[in-house]
Amino acid sequence: MRRAPARGTRRADPEYAGHALHAEWTKARTAGGTIWLLLAIIATTIAVGSAVATATRCPAAGCGQDPARVSLSGIDLGQAVVAILAVLAISGEYGTGLILFTLTAIPRRTTMLAAKAAILTGLVTVAGTLAVLGSLLAGRLILPGHGFIPAHGYPLLSLADGSYLRAAAGSVLYLILVGLLGLGVATAIRDSAVAIGIVLGLLYLFPVAAAAVANPHWQRHLEQIAPMSAGLAIQVTTGLRGMPISPWAGLGVLAAWAAGAMLAGGLLLRVRDA
Amino acid sequence: MTVTPYQSRLREGPYGFADLLHAEWTKFRTVRGWIIAVIVGGLAIAAFALAPGQQGSCNVSSCTAPVGPGGEEVSDSFYFVHQPLSGNGSITVRVASLTGEIPVLTQRAAMRDGLVPWAKAGIIIKASTSPGSAYAAMMVTGSHGVRMQDDFTQDMPGLPGAVSATSPRWLRLTRSGDTITGYDSADGTHWAQVGTATLAGLPQVAQVGLFTTSPGYLQTSLGEASVSGGPSVATGVFDHVGLSWPSGAWAGDNVGGGGGSPGGTAGSSRAADTFTITGTGDIAPVVAGGGGAGVTIAQTLVGTFAGLIVLVVAAAMFMTAEYRRRLILVTLTAAPRRGRVLAAKAVIIGTVTFAAGLVSAAIAVVLGQRVLRGNGAYVYPASLLTQVRVIVGTAAVLAVAAVIAVAIGTILRRGIGAVAVVVMVIVLPYMFTVAAPILPVGPADWLLRLTPAAGFAIQQTLVQYPQVTNTYTAASGYYPLPPWAGLAVLCAWAALALSLAVFLLRRRDA
């Protein structure tokens, strides 16, 4: 008599998912690079944001600068480190062959990927929150000295302000979604160098191409579908009318990219040999 | 009977550099993914140039600019009160005032008093009244004092300071054959020579007279990242007109169409010996950016970034796969001089990416320009030599970036780190300064001087003219470094990365 496959007997077992989470947490916690990458997310984001804030001036009212976007511009670089963290979360296992043990211990591959996504989300949330709060604090300290004063139409950066809160929380969500995008791509591609090339290409090539395309119609469409251009609309607090896409819709575009990548990765993970 | 022992025909080590090159080429050639990556990278560069949406943003009137004697596109519109001069002669004039109006940007079609820095009023000897013809002129300007300019690109300073009723400026132009000499004076008695111009092929009968013009007003905000502006007008008042020949009838012409004159104010009036001339436009080369509406051939090369990322991934893996597969042990056993192994890898990856970049950049520039022109865009002309420099330079940028990826791959021994670092140091500074500029111009220029992104200066084809007001920013195609200096900065980074890689490769266990 043939026995049913192991995966069937384990359906809807919360303890099973708990084990998967615990295993992924242990791997993330003990892998040498994790803590450094998390620190790098925080450091690069705050450093670039502070540098851009230091370089920016608002000499008069109507200077058109966006203090939230300026302060949080470090996300442009920090997201690359998030992508590295995400790609390594899975392709590190392929690189060392650990994936065979992981899938032997947790044969339900979707559960394994979900556990990885959950741990990654948790890590990026912590690092992203610290990075965003640090960047906003730096902006709050630097920008008033550079003409971002109430007389020029800029109240002090504060999370009590709805649009700044949206920019801050949205930036953390943005980093989480970039992480999931990276995890999905890396699950589908398996090779870390190729995966990071694809993720960074997806993020950075769209804005470069959009800038070069002079046709405003195409430019607008490119900025509406690009994961980075659309997603970062969440940081915009001034001149929202002129934006190609509204903040939350923009973050939705990035979420769709991340969901698509995770779906592709998950499907390939199920149908492929490890 | 003695048996000759078997001896391998293979040469003993140490191997020469040619053998190392052969070995590395064999490794690269036989990994299908890397060959595919080179092809995909090349195709990406060419594909972006031919993609739909490659258009200019110019309207019909600014798409066709006249061509100056030097072959460059020029704007040549001004109000001209003139008469013919046959053979040699000279014209002298006193400019008593230069005033103007600039647009109020917050109100449509509203003007206020003001003078743009390069508003011009003075005297000119011009081959004909058709735009783009050769000329030499002496003029007072809005805020750059007296200048002598000729054939659109030449500019020499004369007396400093603004013109006013209490400090008028006397100007004189003298023609002797093809040579025109300009003089200025503050009092009409003490003259100083400002410069000479040689206008080859100036016809026997030239048009000589008084002119006024005023280039567009530009206002920059967002640290020069955002530009707004509109046409301006200027009015010059001339008297003490002295001609070395018997004066004929004066004719007034709005040279260059003058379709853009606000309120149709261009024109002239004469009261006794005083001429009042109002004009708009400019006599200057066309520039890109805030003051221009065309695109450069660099736009056909936007795919460089896509190609760069693909090629950098292949280059990084070319090195890091050695560590992943532990092939490095075999490689270094066969060739114990580690620096030479790295050099061989750099030569192979550099050559392969250079070749792929050369072919694809040539296709992109040649065919991309056709697509742009076919879509009605105005492409700033670039000489054949410049186009060759842009194509070869783009291939060189790709090759050097690939070498940097090999070096960083050696340093980090991880493909992911090498790819991420190269993308971050090359693509990100470009994005911050050129593609989606978030930095003000000053810091942006420093990023483009110091980071590896400086290498993209090799793609610039535009010339900065100090006598033309414009936003000369990287975002509009003007890099802070000249083309080859920018490439040299990228090469310096490659040399630094390679040195560190050789140092670590020698010091570390494999």
Angle between helices A162-189 and A192-212 (to 10 degrees): 130
pLDDT band at B63 (very low <50, low <70, confident <90, very high): low
Q: Are B279 and B250 in contact (CB under 8 A)?
A: no
Name the nearest CA neighbour of B72 among B451, B463, B405, B501: B463
pLDDT tens for the 274 residues of chain A, in order: 444 444 444 455 667 778 788 888 887 777 778 899 999 999 999 999 999 999 888 877 767 788 898 999 999 999 999 999 999 988 878 777 788 878 777 778 888 899 999 999 999 999 999 999 999 999 999 988 888 888 877 877 788 888 899 999 999 999 999 999 999 999 999 889 999 999 999 999 888 888 777 677 888 888 899 999 999 999 888 877 778 888 999 999 999 999 999 999 999 988 887 6
A205/A198 Cα distance (integer angstroms): 10
Give dist(CA B178, CA A193) in Å, integer: 65
**A226 in Cβ contact with A147 (< 8 Å):** no
Q: What is the DSSP letter of B260?
A: T
In this prediction, residue A263 carries a pLDDT of 95
pLDDT tens per residue across span B281-308: 889 887 766 545 677 888 888 889 999 9
Which residues does chain B have within 8 Å of residue A195's beta carbon, measured at their own beta carbons?
416
Please indicate, yes or no, if residue A170 is contained in any of the structural domains. yes
The top-level CATH class assigned to B67-285 is: mainly beta
Of B53, B299, B416, the CB nearest to A196: B416
CA contacts within 13 A on the Cβ side of B435: 26
Beta bridge partners of B150: B136, B154
Tell me the HSE value of B362 on the side-chain side, using a 13 A CA sphere: 9
Report yes or no on A12 lying in a domain.
no
Residue pair B400/B494 in contact (Cβ under 8 Å)? The answer is yes
Count of pairs with CB atoms under 8 A, one residue in A, one in B = 128
Collect all residues of chain A within an 8 Å Cβ-Cβ radius of residue B57: 214-216
More confident residue, B91 or B5: B91
Nearest to B423 among A200, A212, A216 (CB): A200
Angle of helix A75-96 versus helix A32-55 axis, rounded to 10: 160
Per residue in B448-499, pLDDT tens? 999 999 999 999 888 778 888 777 777 777 888 999 999 999 999 999 999 9
Number of domains chain A is built from: 1
Chain A residues touching residue B436 (CB < 8 angstroms): 207-208, 211, 229
**A3-19 burial by CB neighbour count: b if 16+ within 10 A, else e?**
eeeeeeeeeeeeeebee
Under 8 Å between Cβ of A214 and B55: yes
Given a cut of 90, is residue B108 above it in pLDDT?
no
How high is the ipTM of this complex?
A: 0.87
Q: Which of A125-129, B40-44, B435-439 has the lowest mean pLDDT?
A: B435-439
Highest average pLDDT, of B18-32, B303-317, B361-375, B378-392, comes from: B303-317
What are the chain A neighbours of B305 within 8 Å (beta carbons)?
204-205, 208-209
| Pick among B296, B416, B431, B456 to test the A interface (most A CBs inside 10 A) | B416
CA distance A73 to B155: 42
Q: Please tell me the distance in Å from B136's CA to the nearest CA on chain A.
A: 36
> Is A21 within a domain?
no
Task: Report the length, in residues, of chain A.
Answer: 274
In a domain, A2, yes or no: no
The tens digit of pLDDT for each residue in B247-281 reads 888 998 888 865 444 445 778 888 888 999 999 88
pTM, rounded to two decimals: 0.82
In chain B, where the domains are located? 18-55+294-507, 67-285
DSSP letter (8 states) at residue A147: T
| pLDDT of res. A152 | 79
Domain of A70 in residue numbering reads as 30-271
